[in-house]
C-alpha cells in the first residue's frame, strides 16, 4: 500500500512547503478538486496527509493519541511555549489537563458571564455617539481584556495594558515549517514577545503566592495548584506556560469568530432581523437565557462553518497506519482542514451560502463542524467562547445600529489565525 495521491505543484527539494506556508487554503482546495477527501502533500519534515469531511474526521479523532499524536504535531509550539501541555509525554499532559478541566465546568463558566457583560458594556459605553471602528482592532483588546480578567483576575487585568499588541507579535511565531532556531524576523519578534509575556506571568504568579486575595479566583487556583497524584506543587515554569496558553487561545481565535459573526450577520439582513428579534428584550445574561438564543446560536455555528478560526487540526503518526486502502508511514503529519471540510456540498448543500437555519432543520449537522477540533483534545473553551460571543453580540445589537463599511473582507492567508483582513470597518450610531 502507498500514501494517498499527491496534490500537484510540488517543487524540487521544498515540495509544497512554500505554498503550504503562504496559502494553505488554496493548496488544500486544489488537492480536494484533484483527489477528493484524502491526498498527500510534500513537506520538509516528511509526508503530510490531508483529510477532509466528517467521515475522515471520525477516523482521525477516533484514533488513540498513542498512534496519532498531538505531541509532535505543532513543532512551533516548542519554541513559543517551551515544553508544556500538548508537548509533554502523555502522563504529564494528563496531569496538567486535570488542573485545567475543572476550570471549564458549567458552574465556573456561568460565574464569568457577569464579567463578560460588564466588559462588553464598558466597551460600548466608551464609544462616541456615532462613528466607525475596525472589527479586529476594536474586538482584539476587548477579548484580551475579558481573557485577562477571567484568567488573571479583574484587579490584575487593569495592570497589563498593552498585552494585546505583545500577543500579536507572539502569534507571529506560528510557523509549522521554519525551525524555531532560524533567526527570521517573525520568529525573533515572537521570541522577544514570549520573553516579555513569561516575565510578566512569572511576576503575577509569584505575587499571588505571597499575597493571596480574600476570594480565590482562577489565577489563585493555578498559583497554588498541586499535581493530583503526587500532591507536589506544580512548578512555576509549567504554570506560566499554562497561563500563556490560556491567554493566547482565550482571545486570538475568538477575535476571528466574533469579527466574522458580525460580518456574516450584517451582510444578511434577514438573518440579522431574526437575531435582533431574539436579543431585543434580553436583559439578564444567565446561561439559561443565552441557551434560548437559538437563532444566534445557529448563526454562530454557521459562522464557525464558513470561517473556522484555525488553519487545521494536526497529528503525527507514531507508527505506520493503514487507512482506507492507503498507508501512512511513521512520522506522517495528518491534518484535518476545517475550511474545505466545512464546505463539502454533499455534507452542507449550498456550501458557500450563509444559512443558519440549516442547523434547525438538521441539528446533527453541528457534529460535522470541526472549528473546535474533536475527540479527546476537543477545545476545552468551546462553551466559554459560545457564551462570550452571545453576550457581546446581544449587547452590541441592543445598543448600536451597525452597518458594514468594507462589504467583502477576506480572511488572512498564511499560517495566521483566520481573522478578516483589515480594513473591516463598521459604521455605528448609538441608540
Ligand atoms: C473561537 C475560539 C476558539 C477556537 C476556534 C478554538 C479551537 C481549538 C481547537 C481546534 C482545538 C483542538 C486542537 C487540536 O486538537 O489539535 C482547541 C483545543 C483547546 N482549546 Fe480552544 N479554541 C478557542 C477558544 C478557546 C478558549 C477561549 C479557551 C480557554 C481559555 C480554549 C482552550 C483550549 C484548550 C485548553 C485546548 C486543548 C484541549 C486538550 O488538548 O486538552 N480555547 N481549541
CATH number for the domain spanning 152: value is: 1.10.630.10
Helix (H) or strand (E) holding 102, with range, is none
Contact criterion met (CB below 8 Å) for 43 and 8: no
257 in contact with ligand 1, CB cutoff 6 A: yes
309 in contact with ligand 1, CB cutoff 6 A: yes
Q: Which residues contact 222 (CB under 8 A, 6 or more apart)?
A: 99, 205, 239, 242, 243
379 in contact with ligand 1, CB cutoff 6 A: yes
Report how many domains make up the chain. 1
SS3 286: coil
Question: What pLDDT is attached to residue 111?
Answer: 84
Is there a domain that residue 56 lies in? yes
**Which residue owns the Cα nearest ligand 1 atom 32?**
381
Question: In angstroms, what is the span from residue 427 Cα to ligand 1's centroid?
Answer: 32
Alpha helices (H) in 280-320, listed in sequence order: 287-291, 294-306
Contact criterion met (CB below 8 Å) for 32 and 340: yes
Is there a domain that residue 12 lies in? no
Question: What pLDDT is attached to residue 355?
Answer: 98
Burial class (CB in 10 A: 0-12, 13-18, 19+), 297: buried
Question: In angstroms, what is the span from residue 306 Cα to ligand 1's centroid?
Answer: 18
Contact criterion met (CB below 8 Å) for 348 and 306: no
Is there a domain that residue 2 lies in? no
Give the integer Cα–Cα distance in Å for 12 and 282: 59
Q: DSSP E strands: which ranges in 24-98?
A: 38-43, 46-51, 68-69
Ligand 1: residue of 108, 151, 306, 379 to mutate (most ligand atoms within 8 A of CB) is 379
100 in contact with ligand 1, CB cutoff 6 A: yes
Closest atom of ligand 1 to CA, residue 74: 16
Ligand 1: residue of 315, 372, 375, 388 to mutate (most ligand atoms within 8 A of CB) is 372
Is there a domain that residue 412 lies in? yes
Closest atom of ligand 1 to CA, residue 315: 16
Query: And the C-alpha cell for 201?
Result: 506571568
Is there a domain that residue 212 lies in? yes
- Report the 10 Å Cβ neighbour count for 3: 17
Per-residue pLDDT of the chain (431 residues; tens, 9 = 90+): 899 999 999 999 899 999 998 899 999 999 999 999 999 999 887 899 999 999 999 999 999 888 999 988 887 788 888 767 888 888 889 999 998 898 888 888 888 899 999 999 999 999 999 999 999 999 998 998 898 888 888 777 666 677 778 888 888 887 777 777 888 888 899 899 888 888 888 988 888 888 888 888 888 888 889 998 899 999 988 999 898 888 888 888 999 999 999 999 999 999 999 999 999 988 888 899 999 999 999 999 999 999 999 989 999 999 999 999 999 999 999 999 999 999 999 999 999 999 999 999 898 999 999 999 999 999 999 999 999 999 999 999 999 999 999 989 999 888 788 999 989 999 999 99
Question: What pLDDT is attached to residue 157?
Answer: 63
Query: Residue with C-alpha cell 437563532?
Result: 295
- Report the 10 Å Cβ neighbour count for 57: 23
Question: In angstroms, what is the span from residue 381 Cα to ligand 1's centroid?
Answer: 6
250 in contact with ligand 1, CB cutoff 6 A: yes
**Does ipTM surpass 0.95 in this model?**
yes
Kind of pairing, strands 130-134 and 313-317?
unpaired
Question: What pLDDT is attached to residue 169?
Answer: 87
Is there a domain that residue 294 lies in? yes
Q: Is 379 annotated as a binding residue?
A: yes
Kind of pairing, strands 130-134 and 400-404?
unpaired
Secondary structure letter of residue 344 according to DSSP: -
Query: And the C-alpha cell for 245?
Result: 496558553
Contact criterion met (CB below 8 Å) for 120 and 112: no
SS3 429: strand
Question: What pLDDT is attached to residue 1?
Answer: 82
Kind of pairing, strands 130-134 and 425-430?
antiparallel
SS3 402: strand
Q: Which domain holds residue 423?
A: 17-430
**Which residue owns the Cα nearest ligand 1 atom 7?**
372
**Which residue owns the Cα nearest ligand 1 atom 3?**
253
Question: What pLDDT is attached to residue 83?
Answer: 65
Q: Which of 316, 311, 322 minimizes the C-alpha distance to 43?
A: 316
Is there a domain that residue 84 lies in? yes
146 in contact with ligand 1, CB cutoff 6 A: no
381 in contact with ligand 1, CB cutoff 6 A: yes
Question: In angstroms, what is the span from residue 387 Cα to ligand 1's centroid?
Answer: 15
Is there a domain that residue 9 lies in? no
Question: What pLDDT is attached to residue 118?
Answer: 94
Amino acid at each position: 500500500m502507498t500514501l494517498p495521491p499527491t496534490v500537484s505543484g510540488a517543487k524540487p527539494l521544498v515540495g509544497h512547503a512554500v505554498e503550504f506556508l503562504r496559502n494553505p487554503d488554496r493548496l488544500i482546495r486544489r488537492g480536494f478538486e484533484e483527489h477528493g477527501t484524502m491526498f498527500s502533500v510534500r513537506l520538509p519534515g516528511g509526508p503530510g496527509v490531508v483529510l477532509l469531511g466528517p467521515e475522515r474526521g471520525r477516523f482521525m479523532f477516533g484514533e488513540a493519541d498513542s498512534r496519532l499524536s498531538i505531541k509532535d504535531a505543532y513543532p512551533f509550539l516548542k519554541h513559543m511555549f517551551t515544553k508544556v501541555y500538548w508537548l509533554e509525554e502523555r502522563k504529564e499532559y494528563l496531569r496538567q489537563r486535570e488542573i485545567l478541566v475543572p476550570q471549564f465546568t458549567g458552574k465556573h463558566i456561568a460565574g464569568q458571564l457577569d464579567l463578560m457583560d460588564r466588559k462588553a458594556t464598558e466597551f460600548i459605553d466608551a464609544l462616541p455617539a456615532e462613528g466607525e471602528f475596525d472589527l479586529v482592532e476594536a474586538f482584539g483588546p476587548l477579548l484580551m481584556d475579558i481573557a485577562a480578567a477571567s484568567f488573571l483576575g479583574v484587579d490584575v487585568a487593569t495592570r497589563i495594558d498593552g498585552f494585546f499588541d505583545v500577543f500579536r507579535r507572539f502569534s507571529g511565531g506560528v510557523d509549522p515549517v521554519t525551525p524555531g532556531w532560524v533567526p527570521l524576523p517573525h520568529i525573533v519578534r515572537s521570541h522577544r514577545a514570549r520573553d516579555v509575556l513569561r516575565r510578566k506571568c512569572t511576576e503575577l504568579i509569584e505575587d499571588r503566592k505571597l499575597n493571596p486575595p480574600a476570594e480565590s479566583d482562577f489565577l489563585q487556583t493555578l498559583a497554588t495548584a498541586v499535581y493530583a497524584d503526587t500532591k507536589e506543587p506544580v512548578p512555576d515554569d509549567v504554570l506560566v506556560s499554562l497561563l500563556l496558553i490560556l491567554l493566547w487561545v482565550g482571545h486570538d481565535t475568538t477575535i476571528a469568530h466574533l469579527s466574522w459573526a458580525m460580518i456574516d450577520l450584517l451582510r444578511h439582513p434577514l438573518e440579522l432581523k431574526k437575531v435582533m428579534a431574539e436579543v431585543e428584550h434580553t436583559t439578564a445574561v444567565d446561561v439559561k437565557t443565552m441557551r434560548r438564543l437559538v437563532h444566534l446560536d445557529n448563526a454562530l455555528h454557521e459562522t464557525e462553518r464558513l470561517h473556522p478560526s484555525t488553519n487545521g487540526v494536526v497529528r503525527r503518526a507514531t507508527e505506520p497506519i493503514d487507512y482506507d486502502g492507503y498507508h501512512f508511514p511513521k512520522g506522517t503529519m495528518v491534518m484535518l482542514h476545517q475550511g474545505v471540510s466545512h464546505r463539502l456540498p454533499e455534507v452542507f448543500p449550498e456550501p458557500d451560502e450563509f444559512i443558519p437555519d440549516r442547523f434547525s432543520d438538521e441539528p446533527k449537522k453541528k457534529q460535522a463542524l470541526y472549528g473546535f477540533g474533536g475527540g479527546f483534545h476537543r477545545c476545552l473553551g468551546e462553551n466559554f467562547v459560545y457564551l462570550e460571543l452571545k453576550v457581546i453580540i446581544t449587547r452590541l445589537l441592543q445598543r448600536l445600529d451597525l452597518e458594514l463599511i468594507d462589504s467583502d473582507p477576506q480572511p488572512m492567508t498564511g499560517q495566521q489565525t483566520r481573522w478578516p483582513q483589515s480594513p473591516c470597518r463598521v459604521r455605528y450610531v448609538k441608540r
